A and B are shown apart, each in its own frame.
Chain A
């Protein structure tokens, strides 16, 4: 994917992110995820139905990379089973750590395939993934 296309996807997801709203209904579990090294701070609301992720929403303040990554994550995880979601998250970390990764699984999240080169933005991209991972693992206890 060329740089300009990546940029367009990131900006589109930043300017018009999926499901940027709080969800106070009881069915949603709220998880906060924040970066200690910067000011990104978002709440993720996830609703499970059995083994499946039925819905995810979020609210908070964060940079363009964090917000766009949250939006892309939401687009890709809704409808997945918990294990499928964990696998997806693992692939995302493989990519942001600069390791081999399965691009097909990640879909448009590959727009962040260069981010491992920028240490200070890697935590921005992984922020929502660390949040949802925590929520999923909690729900499996």
Chain B
């Protein structure tokens, strides 16, 4: 559905790598071009009409994001370069100052590298301990396992709302309730969640959230860091410089601006932020109900076909998103991707940045198909037809 909105889809391409990045609708591209062509001044800096217009567009996006995730105030919305930067700032700017040696952070083995490596860094730097909430047989996180994993030293649970290999949705609200009852912070990696399902930070009650624009029809290089105001106040800015300071007469007399500007040093990705506003409008216009329905129907259609191909092993028969991970018997995942590429089908091969998944799922690499609302049943028919001829795969994979 809505395929006509996406200029790239006029090409003869079947795009099935939406978990890596989504395509961009014309409205997003037009809004960014409009900024570059018609009012590309800096924000916050000029006492002239053009700059005022930029300020308005930039701050208007903050309002749109606030309403989109139902944050309490504008001060809780910080623009970043993406989920990776958001997660790094949360760990480095907030938790590094708070945690002590021996404090425990719980993650899972299916987290993206961006929600693993910043914590590993604190293991090396200050001696925290990273432990893992065990996954069940379907690689899901259950409340039972969360409760079992918590110890008296647990200070943080940091997990993805939806993972990028399995596509499972976690019971974030229940996790947060239980965590807060035990004085544990919750960090939510929303990179794969926000594009696909309503994320209400007050309802979920998470302490921090990070997500990217580019996986939800928005531009690359821009994302959002949300934090409860009383916590964000204590997040030390990682980037210091222009725009974020009040005055800096001497090291002792340096004053920073209040939230959220304090965390947005330097000229920001203004076009990206403007594009993000359009992406949110676009998603809301379609509605999460329709997006979810379409993804689930497409996924079910694909799974029902794949499970009947004897040499294909589907890793995640169950999933809550549009992700299907599989392997073709005795064919390296990269070679499957190259084979499909010959027919203009874009899929991802690899470990999908979740390297430690190997210990749980027992496979190093998979082919990953990730669907979004603009994919079609015909595209899946094309994919399945190509995967239904083993000899052809082996013949044409090189």
Contact = CB atoms under 8 A, between A and B. Distances in A.
A120 B333 CA distance: 15
B341 to A, nearest CB: 8
The prevalent SS among residues of A at the interface is: helix
Interface string A98-130: 000000000000000000000011001000000
Contact of A64 (B335, B349, B350, B365): B335
Nearest to A14: B398
B266 to A, nearest CB: 28
A114 to B, nearest CB: 11
A11 B349 contact: no
Given A39-B351, A61-B364, A11 B398 contact: yes
Interface residues of A, number: 16
B397 interface: yes
State the majority secondary structure of interface residues on B. mixed
A123 to B, nearest CB: 11
A16 interface: no
Interface residues of B, number: 14
Contacts of B365: 39, 61
Contact of A121 (B332, B338, B350): B338
A68 to B, nearest CB: 8
Contacts of A64: 332, 335, 397-398
A38 B398 contact: no
B245 interface: no
A11 B334 CA distance: 15
A127 to B, nearest CB: 12
B398 A10 contact: yes
Contacts of B335: 63-64
Given A7-B395, A39-B349, 9 more contacts: A7-B398, A38-B349, A39-B334, A39-B350, A39-B351, A39-B364, A62-B332, A62-B334, A64-B398
Interface of A: 7, 10-11, 14, 38-40, 61-65, 68, 120-121, 124
5 contacts: A7-B398, A63-B332, A64-B397, A65-B398, A124-B334
